[in-house]
Amino acid sequence: METFKDSGLQPSIVKGVEALGFETPTPIQKLSIEHLLENETDLIAFAQTGTGKTAAFSLPILHNLDPDVQHVQAIILAPTRELCLQIGNDIASYTKFMDVKVTAVYGGAPITKQIKELQGRPQIVVGTPGRTLDLIQRRKLRIEDVQFLVLDEADEMLSMGFQDELDAILDNTPDHKQTLCFSATMPDGMKHLTKKYLKDPKEISAGKRNISASNVTHELYVVNAKNTYEAMRRIVDFNPNIYGIVFCRTRRETQSIAEKLVGDGYRAEAIHGDLSQAQRDDVMSRFRRKKLNVMVATDVAARGIDVNDLSHVINVNIPDDPEVYVHRSGRTGRAGASGISLVITHGRNMRKIKSLERLIGKQFEEKTVPSGDDICGIKMKEAIDEIVSYEHTTTIDPQLLDVAMDKLAHLSKAELIERFVGHETSVMLSRYRGARDINEKASSPKEHGKRDRSTGREEGFKTVVIDLGYRQNVNPSRIMGLINDAMEGTKVRIGKIDMDKTFTKIDIEDRHAVEVAARLNGAKTGSYVVNSYFEEGSSSSRAERPSYGGRDRRDSGGYKGKRKFEGGSDRREGRSGDRPVRRERISGERTERRERFSNDRSSSDRRSGGGFNRDDNRSGSRSGGSSRAGARSSGGGYPKGKSDSAGRNRRSF
């Protein structure tokens, strides 16, 4: 099949397609038409945005419609109003020489009008999931006998939360229908979708999945986040013939950028979900007629924008889902034209850029934001070109012309040209003259090596464990600071940092791991003294540096990670065996002070008639035969901060 005439489609369909100026099918159209004309199995089709997916499924459906059947034979679901209207209009244009009715149903428009159109018994209904389900529940749309069900941009419908609506709609369709699923990407959610809704589907793909069109150039501009709008405005000014879409993440951001552009004198408008259908239609109409240079849009609102000659797609942020970028960039470079998809981001997002490059199979071309002088030069050339190409069609009053000649007679030719061009470019000159450089240097993303599946440790790294965690009020930044202090003057690669309440695991590159562990062992942070050792499975088990105070910390406490190390003792055993050793070293002086304080306090309490002796309390005897409750009620009590339980629970590091 080389042309539509060779496709086997009905002559009336071919005539309608050729009337639109199409003669040769695109790759996805060829594969889809050939399959659907010869088979009744379900179909999954992948193709880049702008490759004619609407014709790929609608032309075979039109070919197989029964003109004598007066009920809905095909239902097509799309995620957005714009895409729904686009599909409906495209199918209507294909049926110019056929007796087929097509109705589009979507939210944001009067439902009474759509109900009236459904009463005309259309053979094809194109709808958004929400409005389609509403009409089914009102019993105004009956799809019990449909032959075809099409899910266009099915991945987007799932991401927008239409799972329940899709389930309810499909419950009203017959089992013998043919289900067609078309999409530009293949996220994980699509696998679940196809298993649930399709039966042994045939899978076709035009080109590689999830990649950008070959005629789209990808550019990267790196600036500080606060300079994002300034960078975008300079790029727009540097490209005077720009005709593009600026993509934003939220509706509020979309409206804010559009208002700034309008305030700065640009022909721009926003399109997002908060606009009424009439407002959206007005914006799209002006954009298609090129009354607007720039349209600022959210991802959802942009689905269904059918404009083939966009020059630029500007991403003022990197989408959270990388596959969304494929859809965004697919708005340009359509119908064989070339286009530019550019990203404006800050220097710390290079890892996301690398992920996008792997997904689209291309590299971003790093560009610099135009300087003020560059933009002024472009604008001056533009003004001169406009003067040269200006066609004088109106007659100027001779008297006014004489007055102008008299007033300008003292100016030379060069002075006159200089003043005229300066006047034409005064706005740009005042805006950009002396403008600062806002470019930033992109930071190189850290490359991670392969990880050991058994330990989770990166190859070329060893895991050092220290007995500090969240409970000791430290965080990863403080731990990295400890390492920098300990290894002053040495650059150390640090991998994964895994923090728990009382310990932290740090992946350190092999060549410095032993030295880092040794220097951390005994280091101080605040009132804490650090214990460090290698995790089980590393080539060394303990750091060999003795701690402060002269004792060897290999025999003392420190968290051992609930794993058994040298000596086979776990953390609790190590701690319980370690504490008496610490107490013995200071027992003489501390015990003497405690006993002297206790005796002085006890004598004072007895003289005041309240309280009880700590030593008597341990043995069960109360001073003066009074009970513990009685002692507390008589005005005595524990010496503040010196209860025995408090002493037992105190931890030393």
Q: pLDDT per residue over 135-158, tens digit each?
A: 999 999 999 999 999 998 877 787
Q: Which two tokens stand for residue 87?
A: 């599909």
What is the average pLDDT across 341-363? 88
CA distance 481 to 627: 54
Q: Which residue did the predictor score with more confidence, 67 or 268? A: 268
CA distance 462 to 404: 83
Report which of 84, 75, 89, 133 is spatially closest to residue 106, judged by C-alpha positions: 84
Instruction: State the chain's maximal CA–CA distance in angstroms.
Output: 126
| CA distances, 371 to each of 237, 241, 433 (Å) | 11, 18, 9
Q: What is the mean pLDDT of the chain?
A: 77
Pick left, alpha or beta for residue 113 (phi over 0 → left; psi -120 to 50 → alpha; otherwise beta): alpha
Q: pLDDT per residue over 369-383, tens digit each?
A: 999 888 888 888 877
Are 295 and 285 spatial neighbours (Cβ–Cβ below 8 Å)? no
453 within some domain? no
Q: What is the dihedral angle through the alpha carbons of 429, 430, 433, 435, rounded to the nearest 10 degrees? A: -130
DSSP string, 309-324: T--EEEESS--SSHHH
CA distance 228 to 40: 51
CATH number of the structural domain spanning residue 555: 3.30.70.330
> Given 175, 205, 235, which residue is the final one in a domain?
205
- Enter the pTM of the model: 0.55
Pick left, alpha or beta for residue 465 (phi over 0 → left; psi -120 to 50 → alpha; otherwise beta): beta
604 within some domain? yes
State whether 496 and 618 are in the same domain. no
pLDDT band for position 227 (cuts 50, 70, 90): very high
Mutual orientation of helices 81-94 and 11-19 as an angle, nearest 10°?
120
Read off φ and ψ for residue 582, nearest 5 degrees. Answer: -65, -40
437 within some domain? no
441 within some domain? no
- 298, with CB counted inside 10 A (0-12, 13-18, 19+), is buried
State whether 19 and 98 are in the same domain. yes
How much of the chain, in percent, has pLDDT values that exceed 70? 75
CA distance 378 to 271: 29
296 within some domain? yes
In three state form, how does the secondary structure of 213-229 look? CCCEEEEEEEECHHHHH
356 within some domain? yes
**Tally of helices (H runs) and strands (E runs) in the chain:** 25, 20
For residue 340, what are the β-bridge partners?
217, 312
Most trustworthy range by pLDDT among 22-36, 329-343, 620-634? 22-36
Least confident segment among 431-435, 443-447, 555-559: 555-559
Q: Which residue did the predictor score with more confidence, 245 or 601? A: 245
State whether 367 and 378 are in the same domain. no
Q: In what order do the strands lie in the sheet with 74-77?
A: 102-105, 124-127, 74-77, 148-152, 178-183, 43-46, 202-205
State whether 383 and 493 are in the same domain. no
AA identity, residue 455: T
Q: pLDDT per residue over 637-650, tens digit each?
A: 434 444 444 344 33
State whether 111 and 241 are in the same domain. no
What is the average pLDDT across 623-629? 40
Domain span at residue 594 reads 578-649
State whether 525 and 497 are in the same domain. yes
State whether 516 and 414 are in the same domain. no
Check pLDDT > 50 for residue 6.
yes
Q: What is the dihedral angle through the alpha carbons of 278, 283, 285, 289, rounded to the nearest 10 degrees? A: 160
Are 149 and 170 spatial neighbours (Cβ–Cβ below 8 Å)? yes
- Number of structural domains found in the chain: 5
What is the average pLDDT across 573-600? 47
Q: In what order do the strands lie in the sheet with 532-534?
A: 494-499, 504-509, 461-466, 532-534
CA distance 427 to 594: 82
CATH number of the structural domain spanning residue 193: 3.40.50.300
In 510-652, the DSSP E strands lie at: 524-525, 528-529, 532-534
Check pLDDT > 90 for residue 102.
yes
> Given 170, 205, 240, which residue is the final one in a domain?
205
What is the average pLDDT across 420-435? 74
State whether 48 and 162 are in the same domain. yes
pLDDT band for position 444 (cuts 50, 70, 90): low
The reported pLDDT for the residue numbered 642 is 40
> Given 205, 236, 253, which residue is the final one in a domain?
205
The reported pLDDT for the residue numbered 235 is 94
Helix (H) or strand (E) holding 270: strand 268-271
State whether 220 and 356 are in the same domain. yes
Least confident segment among 193-207, 241-255, 412-426, 459-473: 412-426
State whether 156 and 29 are in the same domain. yes
Check pLDDT > 50 for residue 555.
no
DSSP string, 349-367: GHHHHHHHHHHHTS--EEE
445 within some domain? no
CA distance 76 to 147: 11
CB atoms inside a 10 Å sphere around CB 257:
22
What is the average pLDDT across 262-267? 91
The reported pLDDT for the residue numbered 5 is 85
pLDDT band for position 630 (cuts 50, 70, 90): very low
Read off φ and ψ for residue 21, nearest 5 degrees. Answer: 95, 10
Q: Which residue did the predictor score with more confidence, 653 or 53? A: 53
CA distance 288 to 284: 6
State whether 358 and 377 are in the same domain. no
DSSP state of 458: B
Alpha helices of 361-498 — where are they, by DSSP H?
A: 372-389, 398-408, 413-424, 426-432, 476-486
444 within some domain? no
With vertex at residue 565, the alpha carbon angle to CA 563 and CA 566, rounded to the nearest 5 degrees, is 165
pLDDT band for position 207 (cuts 50, 70, 90): low
Q: pLDDT per residue over 455-483, tens digit each?
A: 556 677 888 999 888 788 888 888 888 88
Task: Compute the Cα dihedral for 488, 492, 494, 499 and give only its sign.
Answer: negative
State whether 220 and 368 are in the same domain. yes
Check pLDDT > 60 for residue 618.
no
